[in-house]
């Protein structure tokens, strides 16, 4: 590693953040781990100035478990504003953050909150790079668990292009190691990353439960009233021609785990 940086990872204990911490350490960077469990809250700002002292780059992998649009929007906009304000005070050169592939046309819920997150991040003043990622292999079970009742899970028909959080982490660290853009110049289309092939969420859920030895029946449903049903079903969340594809496939990932 020729260019050792001090990198703060926000959400360091999360599905994605723990991989970012590992990749940074493997590449020889100094890591500052940020999460509420480490005593730093990016929504209230508590502990943030102290945590960012001496930090060159921030990789923001924070998230809220709430899928409610208002709750999630408040989380992400407050977090982005605090990261920019504290980052500017600390002389941070670049904030790298992660969004979700295919969310432009979403009509509500968590995906709209992520659009608001992108907007708040690109408002500056610290230069920003945003990577849009497909759903993680690690997220299949949490994503479908809302529809679980006993040993049956109802899963909306969804075309997705699942990607390993480890692959997304490598791409975020690549961005963190690259040059910062001019402040205020970051705009859509953002770079994208997805897994090597399109998957069907219900089939993916079956594979995950089978790999765990759990006897769960997965029922795929296509119902009126499912938020963003058309987008889920018409392939808005799968890779486009400009998306970077990165392995492993879900099966390979399950076999490794």
Beta strands, E only, 118-243: 128-133, 148-149, 152-156, 159-160, 192-194, 199-200, 217-221
Residue 62 interacts with ligand NAP (CB under 6 A)?
Answer: yes
Residue 63 interacts with ligand NAP (CB under 6 A)?
Answer: yes
Residue 98 interacts with ligand NAP (CB under 6 A)?
Answer: yes
Residue 190 interacts with ligand NAP (CB under 6 A)?
Answer: no
Give Cα 182 to chain centroid, integer Å: 24
Nearest to 244 by CA among 181, 188, 190, 173: 190
Residues in region 5-24 near ligand NAP by CB under 6 A: 10-17
Question: What distance in Å separates the CA atoms of residue 148 and residue 152, rounded to the nearest whole number?
Answer: 6
Choose which of 135, 160, 161, 186 interacts with ligand NAP (CB under 6 A): 135
Residue 195 interacts with ligand NAP (CB under 6 A)?
Answer: no
Question: What distance in Å separates the CA atoms of residue 58 and residue 14, rounded to the nearest whole number?
Answer: 15
CA distances from residue 226 to 13, 65, 108 in whole angstroms, order as listed: 31, 19, 11
Q: How far is the CB of 166 from ligand NAP (least distance, A)?
A: 12
Residue 244 interacts with ligand NAP (CB under 6 A)?
Answer: no
Residue 42 interacts with ligand NAP (CB under 6 A)?
Answer: yes
Nearest to 219 by CA among 155, 159, 158: 155
Q: Which is nearer to ligand NAP, 74 or 93 (CB)?
A: 74
Q: Site residues (CB under 6 A) for ligand NAP?
A: 10-17, 34-37, 40-43, 61-63, 65, 98, 100, 114, 133, 135-136, 139
């Amino acid at each position: 590693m020729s260019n050792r940086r001090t990198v703060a990872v926000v959400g360091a204990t999360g599905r994605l953040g723990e991989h970012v911490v590992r990749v940074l350490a493997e590449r020889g960077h100094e890591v500052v781990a940020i999460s509420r469990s480490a005593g730093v809250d990016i929504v209230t700002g508590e502990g943030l100035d102290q945590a960012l002292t001496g930090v060159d780059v921030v990789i923001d992998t924070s998230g809220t478990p709430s899928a409610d649009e208002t709750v999630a929007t408040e989380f992400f906009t407050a977090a982005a504003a605090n990261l920019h304000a504290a980052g500017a005070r600390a002389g941070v050169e670049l904030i790298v953050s992660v969004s979700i592939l295919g969310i432009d046309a979403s009509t509500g819920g968590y995906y709209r909150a992520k659009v608001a997150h992108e907007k708040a991040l690109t408002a500056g003043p610290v230069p920003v790079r945003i990577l849009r990622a497909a759903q993680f292999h690690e997220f299949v079970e949490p994503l479908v668990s809302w529809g679980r009742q006993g040993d049956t899970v109802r899963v909306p028909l969804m075309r997705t292009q699942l990607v390993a959080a480890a692959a997304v982490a490598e791409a975020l660290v690549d961005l963190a190691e690259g040059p910062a853009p001019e402040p205020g110049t970051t705009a859509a289309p953002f770079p994208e990353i997805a897994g090597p092939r399109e998957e069907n969420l219900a089939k993916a859920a079956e594979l995950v439960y089978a790999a765990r030895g759990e006897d769960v029946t997965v029922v795929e449903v296509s119902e009126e009233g499912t938020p963003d049903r058309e987008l889920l079903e018409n392939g808005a969340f799968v890779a486009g021609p400009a998306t970077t594809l990165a392995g492993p496939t879900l099966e390979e990932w399950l076999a490794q785990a």
